[in-house]
Amino acid sequence: DKGGFEHFMLKEIYEQPLTLEETFRGRLRNDHSEIVLGGLLDVFPKLEQAGRIIIIGCGTSWHAALIGEYLIEEYAQTPVEVEYASEFRYRNPVIGEKDVVILISQSGETADTLAALRLAKEKGATVLGICNVAGSSLARETDAGVYTHAGVEVGVASTKAFTAQVAVLTMIALQLAKRKETIDAETYRMLVKELSETPAKGRLILESNKKIAAIAEKYKEAVNALYLGRGYLFPVALEGALKLKEISYVHAEGYAAGEMKHGPIALIDDNLPVIVVAPQDAYYEKVVSNIQEVKARKGNVIAVVTEGDTGLHEMVNDVIEIPRSHLAVAPLLAVIPLQLLAYHIAVLKGCDVDRPRNLAKSVTVE
């Protein structure tokens, strides 16, 4: 049931404030004093002692993993590596009993991710899952885990599962940091509060849907697109590009903004839309100079900015505003306009948004 929406994908994008609330339910204390992850209680000591955490996934789940890496290293100070399941499983990785491996999968049935799980287990690592489907193979075979509670995701392009995965990773990072005492009480409380505010802020972003549809109309003929972001928003740029390519068949690349000058800058001309995730955070000045570099080469910039940041409005072609937030929770918000932009471009191109060609919801073959 599409609940009155034209496509499941749009419905699922709109569900995100609710699914985030579901993911936080019973886990974020109202007074922001604690994050309770029941499924991990027994294994938290293992996580605290882990010499290294390896996060594994495919596609969108791999993008969530990258955000998890930044969060866990920043706040919990545990070294993290992120791997594609399809690489990890075939490359004889060095891994042992001190390692904790976190596998992320919406479906819990992705063949490569399951093979990576079995390999890590065989080598003696503690294996944890972040999964959306209760009772899936991944949920059954991991030692412990956290469900994302995003509800059934029908659209092949993952949307609400991604934000739920990132929400879970953020909770794990903060709780691990608290237990390891690598975060001070005030910062912890502030970030738990920021997390709890993301559903309401997500609702505000959805109000820009019409505006984003109008932007899509301007760029629907583009044959290429470049997505840029820094820090926690670099994986969001990757995710924005993946959404566009999988449902609209427009070639899109996501890049860490600082990498632009090492190659992709050669692509920029007046035909190339460059989507820049540029909220006012620690990387703001750097991202603004990336925007100037794009503009100097006649690129068209669509910027995702902090609301009220009128300075950027004059510099770029189109803006989409998102509410101010701490940068650690910004991926949960900044990805929403990118999902909507991809959706509208695909609809305008007449693509089968919910069932894009050549793709399956759950990739059970290697």
Q: Which residues bind ligand F6R (CB under 6 A)?
A: 58-61, 105-107, 110, 113, 156-158, 242, 246, 362-363
75 vs 343, which CB is nearer to ligand F6R? 343
SS3 38: helix
The residue from 121, 123, 218, 361 that is catalytic is: 361
Which residue's C-beta sits nearest to ligand F6R? 59
Contacts of 357 (CB under 8 A, 6+ apart): 249
Q: Is 361 a catalytic residue?
A: yes
Q: Which is nearer to ligand F6R, 58 or 353 (CB)?
A: 58
Q: What is the closest distance, in whole angstroms, from the C-beta atom of residue 132 to ligand F6R in the complex?
A: 8
Q: Tell me the two tokens of residue 9.
A: 């994908």
Provide, rounded to whole angstroms, the least separation between the CB of residue 105 and ligand F6R.
3
CB of 53 to ligand F6R, least distance (A): 19
Closest to ligand F6R by CB, 116 or 291: 116
Closer of 318 and 354 to ligand F6R (Cβ): 354
Q: Closest separation between CB of residue 158 and ligand F6R, Å?
A: 4
Smallest gap, in angstroms, from Cβ of residue 47 to ligand F6R? 22
Please say whether the beta carbons of 230 and 283 come within 8 A: yes
| Amino acid, single-letter form, for residue 226 | L
Give dist(CA 102, CA 79) in Å, integer. Answer: 13
d(CA 279, CA 309): 8
Looking at the Cβ atoms of 110 and 142, the one nearer to ligand F6R is 110
Spatial separation of the C-alpha atoms in residues 329 and 96, rounded to whole Å: 32
Q: Coil, helix or strand for 280?
A: coil
The CA angle 201-205-210, to the nearest 5 degrees, is 160
- Give backbone dihedrals phi and psi of 131, rounded to 5 degrees, phi first: -145, 150
Helices (H), the chain: 8-14, 16-24, 44-49, 59-71, 85-88, 111-122, 137-141, 160-180, 185-196, 198-206, 209-219, 234-248, 284-296, 310-315, 330-348
Residues taking part in catalysis: 361
